Structure 1
Amino acid sequence: MSKIKKRLVPVRRFKEFENADAWEQRKFRDISKTKRGFTYKPSNIDNTGIRVLRSSNIKKDTFVISDDDVFVKESAVNIPFVENGDILITAANGSTNLVGKHAIIRDIPKNSAVHGGFMLITTSKEYEFLNALMSSNWYKKFIKKYVAGGNGAIGNLRKNDLDNQKIYVPKKDEQEKIGDFFKQFDSLIALHQRKLDKLKRVKSAYLTEMFPAEGEREPKRRFPGFTGAWEQRKFFDNIEKVIDFRGRTPKKLGMEWSAEGYTALSALNVKDGYIDFTADVHYANQDLYDKWMVGNDLYKGQVLFTTEAPMGNVAQVPDNRKYVLSQRTIAFNVDKTKVTNDFLAVLLRSQNVQHTLKSLASGGTAQGVSQKSLSQLKVIVPIKPKEQQKIGDFFKQLDSLIALHQRKLDKLKKMKAAYLNEMFV
């Protein structure tokens, strides 16, 4: 593909269409048919009946079969069944952030219909092109402008608003080429997503089995050579110092962020098991770093913990570069005679500890924990440092593999977004 710029022609076009006609203006209804779903009563529910597609069937712009799917009696369905190539779109929801979410259906379960809070978009043969078009900037701008609601109001997408939207489309053969291109991209993204999800499930299973269940002192699964009960301690018995600069900002220090320098680590880029350096990017120069960190340099392997929004994410400092410890994130200096950094990182993500943290959390929508709350936390740890290190090393390797797949997935999504931006008018 090569890049060209011309009126009503996308920035990026397949080579065989470089000299093809400009795209034509149409209305959305000219290339699709839009239908609203149906409503049903509780008395219509029948587990052997017709599957009803709802919001749980759209996950990350992908159609999925949900364990929560509802089935109703066939007599309650007054619209045609869904077919492969149809596009499911959220038309009404209690949150405007969910209105307009869409997913193409490529493998529809037999006898499925759509709930009234959704619209079903049926098209001609070029449904893959339409699906890609609905992922482009045109559709995002449309949703932002036309979806009613906000500030807690119920969002609603009106059929006529969508049907009357002006769009630009190429000839059929170019539509097919674009549709196939993004279909392959979606398949690649879905493949990496499945691999990532599988690794996360494996990790979750090991976290359950390699830490004692509630009320017990020994885990179900252990490395060879280790026996005996684990020891219960207060969490802070394992910690020499908590580095906590919550609430600190450059403005409060009479300074500003810089264009480059030391990276700030906040609750937005401390993910579960890794640091996302593309989120909430801020930098501090030397003067701001010195005034902010006041000698509390972070070190490689040190455990970071998010206290709020989100609460409970755990990662480790990835290298020996200097970092600024920013919003809603704290760091622990461990007592090396009691616990290793790698084990502490896993311990804080174990099922029992996460459950206890939620019970200790305070706040409304944004749950959070303070040092006072953490002082009430009790943990169970292996007495032998070697067992701690074995467990820590195992999960560190698993986290590295998960982070690798996450980076690949993020890269693919960014590439898709870039192509969507350049391949549509």
Structure 2
Amino acid sequence: MNEKKKNVPQLRFPGFTDAWEQRKVSELADRYDNHRVPITASERVAGGTPYYGANGIQDHVEGFTHDGEFILVAEDGANDLQNYPVQYVDGKVWVNNHAHVLQAKEETADNKFLMNALKHTNIEPYLVGGGRAKLNADVMMKIDFKVPTLPEQIQIGKFFDNLDHLITLHQRKLSDLKKLKNGLLQKMFPKNGEKYPEIRFPEFTDAWEQRKLGELGKIYTGNTPKTSDLDNWTDNKQGHIWITPTDIDKLIMSDSDRHLSEQGWSKARKIPENSVLITSIASIGKNTINAVPVAFNQQINAIVPEKNDSYFILSAMIKDTARFASVAGQTATAIINKTTFEKFQIATPSYEEQQKIGSFFKQLDDTITLHQRELDHLQLQKKALLQQMFV
């Protein structure tokens, strides 16, 4: 490969053909660490202005400071080196003494391009310190990477700015949907001790009743076929599904990390599809519905509903997660045994109203899942484009 090809990205805007050049941060930006103003937490005044420190580059809090267009780079406290905190900011911000302040030189660099170039750079070789990695200001200015001409920088900067804006819109929509769901869980189920929810479908007027989980269906506690007997297990993904709490990462599940052989399946505690699985030891209150018949381990209790709606029970248990967890008590390892589980009570309406509520939350959860997938896809696209559009 000739030198010119090594110094151009895989993907670029038409009209640009020049090779990229190696440049130091000091050649591309001025440092304004004098804008870093330390202040104690007790002195911060609540307001509408974002506050940035080492972690604040990732998470906004409140404060006051100056106006401007800058790139903020964490000085220390960054543990995730794959996503080292670097952020473009525009407007009024507060910056403390744990965030370096850079501003691209107008004649050589574009702020938005420079921010993405820094995020694309492996920052680890420049860090000093032990567990709390630190990026020294002088060292930061010596970081070098390849850059194109200013017009191409501006194009790339605008492109990623638009992509980040789209990602932010999806993040906001997802956050709004989750807040909506949390609010509706509080309003479409009665408050503790009450018999009527604040909001309900108009055709239903009867009072809700307190019922034990054991009255809603059959309760099963899972088990683990002998792990030392390798014949109980298979690496074949077509094997039988065996769910543990770490597998539960979505509200409807049809797969697991480990699979049982026919022999293991014969020894396992099994439940039919459309049951409700609820973790009851250690990580209490992770809930899911199985879309296919499954086996599960002893950290999980399952409800096989009888004339009750699975998705209603799932939603009710999500709403009551904190109350359910409190039943475990203050033991070294939190546990809710089968007897206690069976006696746990939730407010329930008629089966017909359960179905209506279950269907409503199923549609809402499907919408949330769709937005999460779109957001994940956009973030993966951005990661791929950063690889292809930078040298």
> TM (normalized to structure 1)?
0.75
Matches within 5 A, 1:3-402: 6-17=5-16, 20-36=17-33, 37-41=36-40, 44-46=43-45, 52-54=51-53, 57-59=56-58, 66=60, 68-71=61-64, 81-84=66-69, 86-93=70-77, 96-97=79-80, 100-106=84-90, 108=91, 110=92, 112-125=93-106, 126-136=110-120, 138=121, 141-143=122-124, 146=127, 148-150=129-131, 154-245=132-223, 253=230, 258=235, 260-262=237-239, 267-268=245-246, 270-271=248-249, 273-274=251-252, 282=257, 284=259, 288=261, 290-292=263-265, 294=267, 296=269, 299-306=272-279, 311-317=284-290, 319-320=291-292, 325=296, 330=300, 332-337=302-307, 339-350=308-319, 353-360=320-327, 369-371=335-337, 375=341, 378-402=344-368
What is the aligned partner in structure 2 of residue 74 from structure 1? Answer: none
User: Who is 1:423 aligned against?
Assistant: 389
1:409 alignment partner, one of 375, 378, 382: 375
Measured in 1, the distance between the counterparts of 2:57 and 2:14 equals 34
Q: What CA distance in whole angstroms lies between the structure 2 residues aligned with 1:52 and 1:346?
A: 37
1:55/1:399 CA distance change after superposition, 3 Å: farther
1:70 aligned partner, one-letter code: G
Give 1:129 shift: 0.8
User: CA distance change for structure 1 residues 127 and 11 in 2, over 3 Å: closer, same or farther?
Assistant: same
In the TM superposition, residue 356 of structure 1 has moved relative to its aligned partner by 1.4
Tell me the amino acid that sits aligned with residue 334 of structure 1. V
SS at match of 1:135: helix
- Alignment root-mean-square deviation, CA: 3.7
User: 2:127 corresponds to which letter in structure 1?
Assistant: Y
Indicate how the Cα distance of structure 1 residues 238 and 56 shifts in structure 2: closer, same or farther if over 3 A, else same.
farther
Tell me the secondary structure at the aligned position of residue 119 of structure 2.
coil
1:418 CA drift (Å):
1.0
Bigger shift: 116-125 or 262-271?
A: 262-271
1:405 Cα shift? Answer: 0.9
Instruction: Describe the shift of the 1:157–1:213 C-alpha distance in structure 2 as closer, same or farther (beyond 3 A).
Output: farther
Q: Which amino acid aligns with 1:343?
A: F
CA distance in 2, matches of 1:381, 1:49: 41
- For the residue of structure 2 that corresponds to 1:21, the secondary structure is coil
Deviation at 1:15, TM superposition (A): 3.7
**Is the 2:220–2:301 contact (alpha carbons within 8 Å) kept by the matching residues of 1?**
yes
Q: Aligned partner of 2:52: which letter?
A: L
Higher Cα radius of gyration: 2
How far the C-alpha of 1:272 sits from its partner, in A, is 5.2
1:13-41 superposed Cα distances (whole Å, 9 cap, x missing partner): 33433xx2322111222212344422124
| 8 A contact 1:259–1:283 mirrored in 2 | no
Counterparts of 2:359 and 2:96, CA distance in 1: 48
The residue type equivalent to 2:304 in the other structure is V
- One-letter amino acid of the counterpart of residue 6, structure 2: R
Give the counterpart letter for 2:105 in structure 1.
S
**TM-aligned CA distance change 1:254 to 1:384, over 3 Å:** same
CA drift at 1:389: 1.1
| Residue-by-residue CA offset, 1:72-125 (whole Å, 9 max, x unaligned) | xxxxx7xxx2423x12333233x624893232224x3x4x32022222232235
Task: Work out the percentage of aligned pairs sharing the same amino acid.
Answer: 28
Q: CA deviation at 1:243?
A: 4.8
* 1:51/1:113 contact within 8 Å kept: yes
Q: In 2, distance between residues paired with 1:420 and 1:275?
A: 33
Q: Secondary structure at the match of 1:162?
A: helix
Q: Quick one: which amino acid aligns to residue 291 of structure 1?
A: G
Is the 1:309–1:368 contact (alpha carbons within 8 Å) kept by the matching residues of 2? yes
| TM-aligned CA deviation for residue 374 of structure 1 | 5.4
Unmatched tracts of structure 2, length 5 or more: none
Return closer, same or farther for 1:88/1:376 CA change in 2, 3 Å cut-off: farther
What is the rounded CA distance, in whole Å, between the counterparts of 2:254 and 2:11 in structure 1? 30
Query: Secondary structure, in 3 states, of the residue corresponding to 1:375?
Result: helix
Partner of 2:384, secondary structure, is helix
CA distance in 2, matches of 1:22, 1:239: 69
Listed as ranges, the gaps of 5+ residues in structure 1 are 72-76
What SS is found at the alignment partner of 2:5? coil
Equivalent-residue separation in structure 1 for 2:232 and 2:340 (angstroms) = 31
Give, in whole Å, the separation in 2 of the partners of 1:383 and 1:181. Answer: 52
Report how many residues are paired: 381
